[in-house]
A and B are shown apart, each in its own frame.
Chain A
Amino acid sequence: MNPRKNMPEIKDMPDMEEVLRTSLNEKVPAEVEARLRNRLAAFRQRMEQQELRREKENPIMSILRMAYTTKLGRLCAAAVMLAVIILALGLFPWPHTSNLAFADVVRQIQALRTLTCNFTGTVEVEEGEPAVTTKGKSMWMTPGRSRNEIVTDIPEPAMHMEMVQIVDAVEGRSLGLMPSEKKAIIIRLEGQTPEMQRNLARSIVDALEELRDGTETPLGTRDIASRKATGFHVEKSGVVCEAWVDPETGLPIEVEMKTKMFGNSTITYTDFVFNPPLDESLFSLTPPEGYTLMDTPKAVDLSPPTEQDLLAMFQQLREVFQQLRESGGESFPQGLFPKECNMNSCLEVIKQAVKEKEAAAKPQEKLPPEKVMERVKAMTETMTKTMMALMTKVTRGTMFVQTLKPENDFHYVGAGVRFGESEKPVCWWKPDGFKSYRVIYGDLSVRDVMPDNLPAAK
């Protein structure tokens, strides 16, 4: 039945509104008002206490908890991680230490002023769960500028994320844009090397060539897009790289990188174009009109990593474990050092600890996917910032180890050592020009030890 069919005209009931208004307009008696105000005062106190607790909790914990213990949280974190990995590749070009082997290639690479390529990526967070996919375009321009346009899709329930990251190593700033939310983030960069400032495009190609250091496995030749390509396979710091290059010039045609940083991640770079015309405006660091600036995180340090960065990485891991203990009680064990000193192992050890903690905790109300989605959307900003901060520390720590040469004699024996174990060594190395070794122990103390007294020598 249509209720409007028998609806009287408004003019037939002129007084209904007045009757409602006058009848429902009674003053609140003083004693009732006092009772209700008491309720409000208690509620206010409850809100304030919650906010204090929230301020005390490290945002990393809430992010990690969500990232490792809910399916959608894992997928969203994977999407953010993919973006962070791609951005990290832009911010931290691969180590640049040796000279090029081929004189004819050098000439071509030195003439390289702009470079573009496309990339596609997937992350399988857990076996059997749908993969997060990403695609986009990377551009580099001399001097020291890069732009990444990243589109990420999360399945079930579908979520689409877009991000643009522009880095200018000369200006010392990076601009991140989230077009769907019209948000911009500006990060200050510190400690850029002259190499990064001079020719970022060239350093990317140089770095690829440097992967061929004698440890690679040749993959033979194959045709890619009607071009002959020779391939090689190399594994470094937990990253498996399969690169296909032009046999005559050494320039890349297709590069695939696989890591297990967060599930199984694969990123493939294709369609390399050398010296394409690129508009300067693509690298502008001014946010487009209508964008709001997000809370600016601390500056990202791009200077060559040092011992302090390795310690900062371990301190970051210890902080995560401390947070777990504080929220989980003293019964939660002290965290373990990673099995190996690389990014995969660092993230793996955090993942295991968060999962153990959640398994031991009182089961929480299971949120339906749309609620998780709401929460994740609300946390995207914090998640990006937190993951960036965590990844920056872990990246710089592991980069320090990568920059050590064979004569620095680096050893890592942290597998099985718990944070706080002051007598157990975690790693040691011999700094350039020193006779003694630097040894880091489980309590993160650092001691100078002569070769004869090294833990392994005992």
Chain B
Amino acid sequence: MNLRTLWRKSVNIIMLSLTGLCALVAVSVLFFILGYLVYHGGRDVNWDFFTKLPKPVGETGGGMANAIVGSGKLLFLAALFGIPVGLLGGVYLAEFGGHAVPFVVRYTADLLNGVPSIVIGIFAYALVVMPVHHFSTLAGGFALGVMMIPIVLRSTEEFLHAVPRSMREGAMALGASKWRTISSVVLPAASRGILTAALLALARVAGETAPLLFTAFGNRFWSPGWSQPISSLPVMIYTYAVGPYEDWHQQAWAAGLVLLGLVLVTNIVVRTLLSRGASPQRS
């Protein structure tokens, strides 16, 4: 009997420490990633990296100025398409919806959220690239925008639901119409949450490579306007990492560090702001 208790107690301790170990391993991956990127890429994040164009193949040196600007342009387009659709769609779901339409919209949004990013790339290719027969900034921005929509939509809905009912009733009691209530009371109250959610969505698509491979394609030079192939940081990292040159590998590390830095800083700032302010109903 005593032996059995001892056995149970040791199983208890062993298994519980194992779960702790699992958590430790999972979390330490983040520090490994950061550590390796800083170690390998830290040296090459310099002035040239941000200001110079890539050198012709075979020459060392050069930077990724065009890729950084390119990522910016693509994200701008994505936001231009993804945020209005997500935001206004979310307002409909939270404020105007009946039963049937919101159910269908929510369901398709969740479905869209789960579609592999490479399939979104095929979609954008078929819809935007194929009719005009060339890769373009527009196609890349469209692909990223499609990926943003479900995230912005669902979080807008959540944050609107989190606005207390009494605020709506107060505005209505003052004689405001429903739209007036939403636009000048409910939306401002939820604005911080919605803004941070939009930023999180941007940070998510900023690192996407797969949907850009055959929409924005890539470019070793500047890409003026919106209808030419354009370079972006994630695609550059991919191309340089699988390329054969040592110098390319160095720059891939540097670009990786810059990209991860941007994504992590956005996430940290946004999530800290979120946890301080009114958060949506989470456990």
Instruction: State whether these chains interact.
Output: no
